[in-house]
Protein backbone atom coordinates (compact mmCIF):
# COMPACT_ATOMS: atom_id res chain seq x y z
CA UNK A 1 0.00 0.00 0.00
CA UNK A 2 1.41 3.39 -0.90
CA UNK A 3 1.35 6.34 1.46
CA UNK A 4 -1.55 8.10 -0.30
CA UNK A 5 -3.71 4.98 0.01
CA UNK A 6 -2.86 4.82 3.70
CA UNK A 7 -3.86 8.48 4.16
CA UNK A 8 -7.17 7.81 2.34
CA UNK A 9 -7.83 4.76 4.50
CA UNK A 10 -7.16 6.79 7.65
CA UNK A 11 -9.51 9.56 6.46
CA UNK A 12 -12.24 7.02 5.74
CA UNK A 13 -11.82 5.49 9.18
CA UNK A 14 -12.13 8.93 10.79
CA UNK A 15 -15.31 9.57 8.80
CA UNK A 16 -16.75 6.24 10.00
CA UNK A 17 -15.88 7.17 13.57
CA UNK A 18 -17.61 10.53 13.08
CA UNK A 19 -20.78 8.78 11.89
CA UNK A 20 -20.81 6.69 15.08
CA UNK A 21 -19.80 9.49 17.45
CA UNK A 22 -21.93 9.83 20.55
CA UNK A 23 -22.05 13.62 20.52
CA UNK A 24 -21.49 16.64 18.28
CA UNK A 25 -18.11 17.50 19.82
CA UNK A 26 -16.67 14.05 19.13
CA UNK A 27 -18.14 14.04 15.63
CA UNK A 28 -16.52 17.40 14.86
CA UNK A 29 -13.17 16.14 16.17
CA UNK A 30 -13.29 13.04 13.97
CA UNK A 31 -14.26 15.12 10.94
CA UNK A 32 -11.32 17.49 11.58
CA UNK A 33 -8.99 14.49 11.71
CA UNK A 34 -10.45 13.18 8.44
CA UNK A 35 -9.91 16.59 6.84
CA UNK A 36 -6.32 16.60 8.07
CA UNK A 37 -5.63 13.23 6.45
CA UNK A 38 -7.18 14.45 3.19
CA UNK A 39 -5.08 17.61 3.39
CA UNK A 40 -1.97 15.48 3.64
CA UNK A 41 -2.95 13.79 0.37
CA UNK A 42 -3.05 17.18 -1.34
CA UNK A 43 0.36 18.15 0.09
CA UNK A 44 2.17 14.86 -0.47
CA UNK A 45 2.91 15.31 -4.21
CA UNK A 46 4.32 18.77 -3.52
CA UNK A 47 6.53 17.35 -0.80
CA UNK A 48 7.99 14.72 -3.10
CA UNK A 49 7.89 16.48 -6.47
CA UNK A 50 7.92 20.16 -5.52
CA UNK A 51 9.60 22.95 -7.43
CA UNK A 52 12.28 23.18 -4.74
CA UNK A 53 13.82 19.86 -5.82
CA UNK A 54 16.60 21.13 -8.07
CA UNK A 55 18.32 17.74 -8.33
CA UNK A 56 15.49 16.04 -10.19
CA UNK A 57 14.94 13.83 -7.20
CA UNK A 58 18.09 11.82 -7.79
CA UNK A 59 19.99 12.81 -4.66
CA UNK A 60 17.02 13.54 -2.45
CA UNK A 61 14.95 10.45 -3.19
CA UNK A 62 12.38 12.63 -4.93
CA UNK A 63 11.85 14.79 -1.85
CA UNK A 64 12.02 18.54 -2.06
CA UNK A 65 14.57 20.35 0.09
CA UNK A 66 14.13 23.98 1.09
CA UNK A 67 16.40 26.54 -0.48
CA UNK A 68 19.01 27.89 1.91
CA UNK A 69 18.41 31.49 2.93
CA UNK A 70 21.05 34.24 2.82
CA UNK A 71 21.30 33.88 6.58
CA UNK A 72 22.05 30.16 6.20
CA UNK A 73 24.79 30.75 3.63
CA UNK A 74 26.50 33.38 5.80
CA UNK A 75 26.34 31.29 8.99
CA UNK A 76 29.54 29.38 8.24
CA UNK A 77 31.60 32.47 7.36
**Is 67 among the domain residues?**
no
Could you tell me if residue 19 is inside a domain?
yes
| pLDDT tens per residue, range 21-69 | 999 999 999 999 999 999 998 877 666 666 554 444 444 444 555 566 6
Compute the Cα dihedral for 7, 9, 11, 17 and give only its sign.
negative
Report the pLDDT value the prediction gives residue 71, as an integer from 0 to 100.
61
Parent domain of 48: 3-59
Would 64 be classed as within a structural domain? no
DSSP secondary structure, 6-52, as one string: HHHHHHHHHHHHHHT-SSHHHHHHHHHHHHHHHHHHHHHHHHHH-TT
Amino acid sequence: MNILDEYRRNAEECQRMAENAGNATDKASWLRLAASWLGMIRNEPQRFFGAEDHNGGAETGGRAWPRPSDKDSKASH
